């Protein structure tokens, strides 16, 4: 039997293999593009000021997702999520290893994948950029409550402290900024598609509006961003005493940390006496500035008391107090120079993989490093401190990422303080990411923000989100500034979480309609 003759113009493989090969190449290409979109979004955030990369990242992701099935949307957005969260959250593994960093990044990316499935599904609907952006906001809401009590660190709003969208925070907080950025990006997707792919220039009006309306709205919100001192002024001192060394092990020299902050406060008092700086009305020490419980250690009490008497002003002292159960509480003490501690606030939102260790027995199977994480007990209510003529609300470190926590902390105050300890995470980008959150919160709530960090970056943030002063990292320092005190209730505070609920429900409603449309389409075929 003669062998079959193969023409040189025909592939020497089966038709089935030939059909699959280009398909897999296309899938791989889309995976690379989607991952690149996530990396673009990551690079849009601090310490960089490339805010415009975020909407461009969404435009690229939208090009991959549009017209795909939900399953494909999940997979491609999972890749984009990994491109975003793996570098963003690298600080979580700085001292406890990849057992914290990579599982947390994967969990966040998986939740982003769910949003991506919905974004792909609603591409059968008109006005897709709007519905897609609403579903993205719904995904951010889900990540703010799950897993581990929520981890909203990757909200798109926190990439935008230098962007044109920032004024929208005063209208409806971080969800509105996320909506605006995503809508702009997805609008660019449809604009390019209609012009270059489908070649239908008559259909550019709707996507052009999706691109432009969020930007126009942001500029329209500028008059709502107030900076006036409508409740007077206060001279505030922020102390950055520094730590002996970076990492979790800095706690082994906690007396040195306390001494550093006391000495820098006493040095500031000397500078005040010499007329070099103004006498502060109040002083903010960082989180963990006294990890020695002053109620149980008379020497710590004496050290803090001496510093308060030297500066002649109340100090908010970040301390760790032991409860009757023997477990620690991350606490801010109001230390009066005459009366000692008279009030306290206990941190309500604790940082997983640091102050607590979720699923500790499970993760211990992989590494003993999990036992370096703490067993802190959370507080249950917001507490403000009367300090001079200021009424100060507190969002301690990780808490500043949570919309509801900060909203409760600001109520009834005229100044927001963020005591934080970023020494645990060394020279990573964590401190800059958190400072970006402080800047967004300043605009969202119309408050000046005093940021006190053990090792940096400490700063003063104006109510418009701009930074007036800041320190370096792992250097001692003291910042003194007269800040505006404001009692204005922003539209965002008046509306509370309602706008986010509306966005989430609208996105889910659109998803429901899209599912019905797709099923009818299959049935008709």
Tens-digit pLDDT profile for residues 41-68: 999 999 999 999 999 999 999 999 999 9
Q: pLDDT: is 1 or 22 the higher one?
A: 22
pLDDT (tens digit per residue) in 174-188? 999 999 999 999 999
CA torsion through residues 181, 123, 145, 427, sign:
negative
Tokens read off for 231: 């409740």
The structure tokens listed for 172 are 């409806």
Average pLDDT, the chain: 92
- Residue partners of 288: CB distance under 8 A and separation at least 6: 251, 254, 257, 318, 319, 320, 330, 421, 423, 454
* Dihedral pair phi/psi, residue 236, rounded to 5°: -115, 140
Q: What percent of the chain shows pLDDT beyond 70? A: 91
pLDDT digits (tens, 9 = 90+) for 399-409: 999 999 999 99
When pLDDT is cut at 50, 70 and 90, the band that residue 152 belongs to is: very high
Residue 442: pLDDT above 50?
Answer: yes
Side-by-side strand order, sheet with 415-420: 385-387, 390-394, 415-420, 449-453, 459-461, 467-470
Report how far residue 335's alpha carbon sits from residue 343's, in angstroms, rounded to the nearest whole number: 8
* 185-233: pLDDT as tens digits: 999 999 999 999 888 888 899 999 999 999 999 999 999 999 999 999 9
Task: Enter the tokens of residue 411.
Answer: 């109520």
What pLDDT is attached to residue 369? 65
Residues 142 and 112: their CA atoms lie apart, in Å, by: 9
State the pLDDT at residue 424.
82
Q: Are residues 265 and 239 in contact, defined by beta-carbon separation less than 8 angstroms? A: yes
Q: How confident is the model at residue 456 (pLDDT cuts 50, 70, 90)?
A: confident
pLDDT bucket at 365, cuts 50 / 70 / 90: low
The catalytic site residues sit at 287, 347, 397
pLDDT of residue 520: 86
pLDDT attached to residue 440? 98
> What is the pLDDT, as a whole number, of residue 199?
86
The pLDDT of residue 19 is above 90: no
């Amino acid at each position: 039997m003669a062998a079959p003759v193969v023409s040189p113009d025909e592939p020497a493989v089966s038709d089935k293999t030939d059909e699959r090969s280009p398909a897999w190449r296309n899938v791989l290409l889309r995976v690379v593009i989607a991952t690149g979109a996530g990396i673009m979004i990551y690079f849009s955030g601090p310490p960089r000021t490339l805010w415009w990369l975020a909407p461009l990242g969404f435009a690229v992701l939208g090009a991959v997702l549009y017209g795909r099935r939900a399953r494909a949307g999940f997979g491609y957005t999972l890749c984009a999520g990994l491109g975003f969260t793996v570098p963003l959250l690298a600080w979580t593994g700085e001292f406890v290893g990849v057992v914290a960093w990579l599982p947390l990044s994967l969990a966040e990316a998986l939740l982003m994948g769910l949003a991506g499935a919905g974004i792909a599904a609603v591409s059968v609907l008109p006005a897709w950029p709007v519905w897609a952006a609403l579903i993205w906001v719904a995904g951010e809401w889900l990540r703010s409550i799950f897993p581990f009590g929520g981890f909203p660190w990757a909200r798109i709003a926190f990439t935008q402290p230098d962007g044109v969208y920032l004024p929208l925070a005063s209208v409806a907080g971080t969800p509105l900024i996320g909506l605006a950025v995503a809508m702009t990006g997805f609008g660019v997707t449809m604009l390019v598609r209609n012009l270059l792919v489908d070649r239908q220039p008559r259909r550019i009006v709707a996507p052009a509006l999706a691109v432009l309306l969020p930007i126009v709205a942001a500029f329209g919100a500028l008059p709502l961003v107030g900076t006036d001192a409508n409740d007077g002024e206060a001279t505030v001192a922020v102390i950055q005493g520094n730590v002996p060394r970076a990492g979790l092990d800095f706690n082994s020299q906690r007396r040195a940390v306390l001494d550093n902050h006391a000495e820098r406060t006493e040095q500031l008092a000397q500078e005040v006496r010499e007329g070099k700086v103004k006498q502060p009305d109040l002083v903010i020490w960082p989180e963990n500035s006294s990890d020695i419980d002053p109620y149980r250690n008379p020497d710590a009490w004496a050290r803090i008391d001496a510093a308060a008497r030297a500066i002649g002003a109340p100090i908010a002292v970040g301390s760790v107090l032991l409860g009757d159960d023997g477990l620690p509480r991350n606490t801010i003490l109001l230390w009066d120079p005459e009366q000692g501690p008279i009030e306290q606030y206990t941190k309500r939102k604790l940082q997983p993989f640091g102050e607590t260790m979720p699923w500790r027995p499970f993760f211990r199977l992989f590494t003993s490093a999990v036992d370096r994480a703490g067993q802190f007990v959370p507080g249950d209510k917001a507490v403000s401190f009367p300090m001079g003529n200021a009424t100060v609300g507190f969002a301690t470190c990780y808490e500043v990422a949570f919309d509801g926590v900060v909203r409760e902390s600001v109520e009834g105050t005229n100044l927001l303080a963020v005591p934080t300890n970023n020494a645990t995470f060394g020279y990573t980008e964590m401190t800059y990411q958190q400072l970006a959150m402080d800047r967004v919160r300043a605009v969202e709530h119309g408050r000046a923000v005093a940021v006190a960090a053990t090792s940096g970056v400490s700063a003063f943030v104006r109510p418009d989100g701009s930074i007036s002063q800041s320190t370096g990292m792992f250097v001692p320092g003291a910042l003194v500034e007269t800040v505006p005190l404001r009692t204005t209730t922003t539209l965002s505070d008046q509306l509370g979480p309602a706008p986010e609920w509306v966005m989430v429900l609208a996105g889910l409603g659109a998803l429901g309609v899209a599912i019905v449309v797709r099923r009818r389409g299959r049935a008709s075929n």
